[in-house]
Amino acid sequence: MKKIAVILSGCGNRDGSELQESLSLLLAIDRRGWQYQCFAPDGFYDVVNHASGVETGETRDILVESARIARGNIKPLSDYRPEDFDALALPGGMGAARNLSTYAYDGAGMSVMESVEDAILATIKVSKPVCAMCIAPMVLAKVLGKKGVCITLGSDSNEASAAARQLGAKTQSCGPTEVCVDDRLRVFTTPAYMAASRISEIFDGAENMVARLSEAL
């Protein structure tokens, strides 16, 4: 049975992991008969009111909030060992851009949380696949850009794609249910809400990404 490690970044599309993307990813993994284990890094993040879009001034713990999505079955990212898993996956949501990285604040001058970068590089080092949805491929652009990783962020002409190319990544335009595959680095990405307008498209994109991942395992 295949086992997939999933990195979450909080709970909620404006300041954490996007719930619809996260659940679609977990469901797509489960429907394959595979297992998943959720992880989250240690640290705190600034909370956004999801009704108004305004920061509240409150901070919350990334791992504790991510546990809401994982129904409590979550481990600190420091416990992740790539040899124990078949692939690593990152759903989207602004948590990828605000918590796992600083893309939301710094654009192409972004940095990535050390534990997240270490997890990605360790996975690539042992030639295991990495998957990412929505804005999360920006994290891969920063970590793997110098390796010339190919990703999708939806339209090839949007601001995020331009920033990814500044970091050395190659970008590919994809529709909401399509998958960009980097065969050399074994990286699989899908646009999700960077392109989608319906929750059904989110699930189809996650399902298609996991299907392509299955072909590589």
Annotated catalytic sites, by residue?
Answer: 134
Burial status of residue 37 (CB atoms within 10 A of its CB: 0-12, 13-18, 19 or more): middle
Structure tokens at 70: 């994982």
3-state secondary structure of 111: coil
Instruction: Report the alpha-carbon distance of residue 166 to residue 158 in Å, rounded.
Output: 13
Note whether 190 and 133 are within 8 A (CB).
yes
The torsion angles phi and psi of 166, rounded to 5 degrees, stand at: -60, -30
- Relative to beta strand 35-40, strand 55-61 is unpaired
As beta bridge partners, residue 3 has 35
The Cα–Cα gap between 170 and 152 comes to 8
Separation CA 189–CA 64 (nearest Å): 26
